[in-house]
Chains A and B, each alone.
Chain A
Protein backbone atom coordinates (compact mmCIF):
# COMPACT_ATOMS: atom_id res chain seq x y z
CA UNK A 1 0.00 0.00 0.00
CA UNK A 2 1.76 3.09 -1.25
CA UNK A 3 1.84 6.10 1.01
CA UNK A 4 0.62 9.58 0.20
CA UNK A 5 2.19 10.59 -3.11
CA UNK A 6 2.92 14.18 -3.94
CA UNK A 7 4.34 15.52 -7.16
CA UNK A 8 6.36 17.20 -8.20
CA UNK A 9 8.83 17.05 -5.30
CA UNK A 10 10.40 20.30 -6.41
CA UNK A 11 8.80 23.04 -8.48
CA UNK A 12 10.34 26.27 -9.68
CA UNK A 13 8.12 29.00 -11.04
CA UNK A 14 8.72 32.58 -12.14
CA UNK A 15 6.67 35.31 -10.57
CA UNK A 16 3.27 35.52 -12.21
CA UNK A 17 3.15 31.89 -13.34
CA UNK A 18 0.79 29.23 -12.07
CA UNK A 19 1.79 26.38 -9.78
CA UNK A 20 -0.15 23.12 -9.67
CA UNK A 21 0.62 20.70 -6.86
CA UNK A 22 -0.79 17.20 -6.91
CA UNK A 23 -1.56 14.80 -4.09
CA UNK A 24 -2.69 11.20 -4.37
CA UNK A 25 -3.96 10.01 -1.00
CA UNK A 26 -3.35 6.56 0.38
CA UNK A 27 -5.60 3.85 -1.03
CA UNK A 28 -8.96 3.91 0.65
CA UNK A 29 -8.51 7.42 2.05
CA UNK A 30 -11.13 9.95 1.08
CA UNK A 31 -10.04 12.85 3.30
CA UNK A 32 -7.24 15.16 2.26
CA UNK A 33 -5.56 18.04 4.07
CA UNK A 34 -3.11 20.59 2.67
CA UNK A 35 -0.54 22.33 4.86
CA UNK A 36 2.14 24.93 4.13
CA UNK A 37 5.48 25.04 5.88
CA UNK A 38 7.91 27.92 5.79
CA UNK A 39 11.58 27.23 6.62
CA UNK A 40 12.10 26.39 10.28
CA UNK A 41 8.42 26.84 11.07
CA UNK A 42 5.54 24.54 11.87
CA UNK A 43 2.88 23.42 9.46
CA UNK A 44 0.00 25.79 8.82
CA UNK A 45 -3.37 24.38 7.83
CA UNK A 46 -4.72 25.50 4.49
CA UNK A 47 -7.67 23.36 3.44
CA UNK A 48 -9.52 20.13 4.20
CA UNK A 49 -11.33 18.28 1.43
CA UNK A 50 -13.36 15.16 0.95
CA UNK A 51 -14.11 13.71 -2.43
CA UNK A 52 -15.66 16.50 -4.53
CA UNK A 53 -16.20 18.73 -1.51
CA UNK A 54 -14.28 21.45 0.26
CA UNK A 55 -15.03 21.03 3.96
CA UNK A 56 -12.86 23.73 5.50
CA UNK A 57 -10.78 26.30 3.63
CA UNK A 58 -10.28 28.66 6.54
CA UNK A 59 -6.50 28.57 6.11
CA UNK A 60 -6.47 29.37 2.41
CA UNK A 61 -5.57 32.87 1.23
CA UNK A 62 -8.64 34.50 -0.26
CA UNK A 63 -7.02 35.19 -3.61
CA UNK A 64 -4.92 33.16 -6.04
CA UNK A 65 -5.21 29.88 -4.12
CA UNK A 66 -7.68 27.11 -4.86
CA UNK A 67 -7.98 23.41 -4.15
CA UNK A 68 -10.00 20.53 -5.49
CA UNK A 69 -10.38 16.82 -4.88
CA UNK A 70 -12.31 15.35 -7.81
CA UNK A 71 -14.14 12.07 -7.82
CA UNK A 72 -11.38 10.60 -9.93
CA UNK A 73 -7.74 11.57 -9.73
CA UNK A 74 -5.53 13.38 -7.27
CA UNK A 75 -6.22 16.42 -5.17
CA UNK A 76 -4.85 19.59 -6.75
CA UNK A 77 -3.64 22.73 -5.00
CA UNK A 78 -3.42 25.55 -7.49
CA UNK A 79 -1.63 28.83 -6.94
CA UNK A 80 -2.17 31.45 -9.61
CA UNK A 81 0.16 34.38 -10.31
CA UNK A 82 2.75 33.16 -7.83
CA UNK A 83 4.80 35.64 -5.81
CA UNK A 84 8.06 35.12 -3.93
CA UNK A 85 6.17 34.83 -0.65
CA UNK A 86 4.53 31.65 -1.92
CA UNK A 87 7.88 29.87 -1.75
CA UNK A 88 7.44 27.12 0.83
CA UNK A 89 7.00 23.41 1.28
CA UNK A 90 3.44 22.25 0.71
CA UNK A 91 2.40 19.04 2.39
CA UNK A 92 -0.61 16.90 1.78
CA UNK A 93 -2.01 14.47 4.33
CA UNK A 94 -4.76 11.89 4.00
CA UNK A 95 -6.89 9.92 6.41
CA UNK A 96 -9.52 7.22 5.98
CA UNK A 97 -12.05 9.02 8.14
CA UNK A 98 -12.75 12.55 9.15
CA UNK A 99 -10.39 14.03 11.71
CA UNK A 100 -13.21 14.37 14.18
CA UNK A 101 -12.85 10.71 15.06
CA UNK A 102 -9.31 11.26 16.23
CA UNK A 103 -7.75 9.57 13.26
CA UNK A 104 -4.13 10.17 12.48
CA UNK A 105 -3.27 11.75 9.18
CA UNK A 106 -0.48 10.36 6.99
CA UNK A 107 1.72 12.90 5.26
CA UNK A 108 3.34 12.91 1.86
CA UNK A 109 6.92 14.00 1.21
CA UNK A 110 5.84 17.46 0.19
CA UNK A 111 6.33 19.73 -2.81
CA UNK A 112 8.95 22.42 -2.43
CA UNK A 113 7.90 25.45 -4.40
CA UNK A 114 10.47 28.07 -5.25
CA UNK A 115 9.36 31.28 -6.90
CA UNK A 116 12.12 33.15 -8.71
Chain B
Protein backbone atom coordinates (compact mmCIF):
# COMPACT_ATOMS: atom_id res chain seq x y z
CA UNK B 1 0.00 0.00 0.00
CA UNK B 2 1.06 3.59 -0.62
CA UNK B 3 -0.02 6.97 0.67
CA UNK B 4 0.82 10.58 0.29
CA UNK B 5 0.91 11.98 3.78
CA UNK B 6 -0.70 15.30 3.00
CA UNK B 7 -3.55 14.01 0.82
CA UNK B 8 -4.27 10.52 2.21
CA UNK B 9 -3.74 10.62 5.95
CA UNK B 10 -4.79 6.98 6.42
CA UNK B 11 -3.29 3.82 4.98
CA UNK B 12 -4.48 0.24 5.45
CA UNK B 13 -2.35 -2.72 4.44
CA UNK B 14 -2.53 -6.47 4.82
CA UNK B 15 -0.13 -8.08 7.23
CA UNK B 16 2.94 -9.20 5.34
CA UNK B 17 2.59 -6.64 2.56
CA UNK B 18 5.01 -3.79 2.09
CA UNK B 19 3.94 -0.26 3.10
CA UNK B 20 5.02 3.02 1.57
CA UNK B 21 4.37 6.26 3.41
CA UNK B 22 5.12 9.49 1.59
CA UNK B 23 5.94 12.97 2.75
CA UNK B 24 6.38 16.18 0.81
CA UNK B 25 8.54 18.79 2.50
CA UNK B 26 8.58 22.46 1.69
CA UNK B 27 11.96 23.88 2.66
CA UNK B 28 14.68 23.34 0.07
CA UNK B 29 17.23 24.26 2.76
CA UNK B 30 16.27 21.27 4.91
CA UNK B 31 19.25 18.98 5.26
CA UNK B 32 18.26 16.40 7.83
CA UNK B 33 15.14 14.29 7.98
CA UNK B 34 13.72 11.86 10.51
CA UNK B 35 10.82 9.45 10.44
CA UNK B 36 9.01 9.00 13.74
CA UNK B 37 6.42 6.43 14.76
CA UNK B 38 3.78 7.40 17.28
CA UNK B 39 1.55 4.80 18.86
CA UNK B 40 -1.67 5.80 20.55
CA UNK B 41 -1.04 7.56 23.84
CA UNK B 42 2.73 7.55 23.45
CA UNK B 43 5.44 9.92 22.39
CA UNK B 44 7.09 9.86 18.95
CA UNK B 45 9.69 7.14 18.57
CA UNK B 46 12.68 7.50 16.26
CA UNK B 47 12.66 5.08 13.33
CA UNK B 48 15.29 6.19 10.86
CA UNK B 49 17.01 9.34 9.69
CA UNK B 50 18.72 10.54 6.53
CA UNK B 51 20.92 13.48 5.66
CA UNK B 52 20.54 15.48 2.49
CA UNK B 53 23.80 14.15 1.04
CA UNK B 54 22.19 10.72 0.78
CA UNK B 55 19.23 9.49 -1.26
CA UNK B 56 18.64 6.18 0.46
CA UNK B 57 19.18 4.64 3.85
CA UNK B 58 18.19 1.23 5.11
CA UNK B 59 17.40 -0.03 8.56
CA UNK B 60 15.82 -3.17 9.86
CA UNK B 61 12.73 -3.69 7.67
CA UNK B 62 12.62 0.04 6.90
CA UNK B 63 14.07 2.09 4.08
CA UNK B 64 13.97 5.85 3.68
CA UNK B 65 14.26 7.42 0.26
CA UNK B 66 14.99 11.10 -0.30
CA UNK B 67 14.40 12.93 -3.56
CA UNK B 68 15.66 16.46 -3.15
CA UNK B 69 14.71 17.46 -6.67
CA UNK B 70 11.01 17.18 -5.90
CA UNK B 71 11.39 17.59 -2.12
CA UNK B 72 9.92 14.19 -1.39
CA UNK B 73 10.63 11.69 1.35
CA UNK B 74 9.26 8.18 1.69
CA UNK B 75 9.34 5.45 4.29
CA UNK B 76 9.10 1.86 3.14
CA UNK B 77 8.24 -0.84 5.64
CA UNK B 78 8.84 -4.40 4.49
CA UNK B 79 6.60 -7.27 5.57
CA UNK B 80 4.33 -5.01 7.60
CA UNK B 81 3.28 -6.41 10.96
CA UNK B 82 0.36 -5.57 13.28
CA UNK B 83 2.83 -3.89 15.62
CA UNK B 84 3.59 -1.39 12.87
CA UNK B 85 0.12 0.13 13.23
CA UNK B 86 0.70 3.74 14.32
CA UNK B 87 0.87 7.28 13.03
CA UNK B 88 4.06 8.03 11.13
CA UNK B 89 5.51 11.53 10.96
CA UNK B 90 8.29 12.88 8.85
CA UNK B 91 10.30 15.70 10.38
CA UNK B 92 12.66 18.04 8.56
CA UNK B 93 15.22 20.47 9.81
CA UNK B 94 18.05 22.59 8.51
CA UNK B 95 21.44 23.21 9.97
CA UNK B 96 20.95 26.80 11.03
CA UNK B 97 17.48 26.28 12.45
CA UNK B 98 16.53 25.33 15.97
CA UNK B 99 13.56 23.08 15.48
CA UNK B 100 12.24 20.04 13.68
CA UNK B 101 9.24 20.71 11.45
CA UNK B 102 6.73 17.90 11.58
CA UNK B 103 4.30 16.88 8.87
CA UNK B 104 0.65 16.13 9.60
CA UNK B 105 1.27 12.41 9.81
CA UNK B 106 -0.11 9.27 8.18
CA UNK B 107 -2.07 6.71 10.13
CA UNK B 108 -1.08 3.16 9.21
CA UNK B 109 -3.43 0.30 10.02
CA UNK B 110 -2.24 -3.26 9.50
CA UNK B 111 -5.00 -5.77 8.83
CA UNK B 112 -4.21 -9.22 10.22
Q: Which residues of A are in contact with B by a Cβ distance under 8 Å? A: 4, 6, 33, 35, 40-45, 48, 55-56, 58-59, 91, 98-100, 102, 104-110
Contacts and interface: CB of A to CB of B under 8 A. Distances in A.
Interface string B49-82: 1010000000000000000000000000000000
A109 B46 contact: no
Given A42-B103, A48-B99, A99-B97, A109 B44 contact: no
A91 B91 CA distance: 15
Nearest to B105: A42
A99 B31 contact: no
Contacts of A100: 95-98
Interface of B: 31-32, 34, 36, 41-46, 49, 51, 89, 93, 95-105
A94 B4 CA distance: 29
Contacts of A42: 89, 102-105
A82 B36 CA distance: 30
Contacts of B49: 102, 104
B43 A56 contact: no
Contacts of A45: 99-101
A13 to B, nearest CB: 20
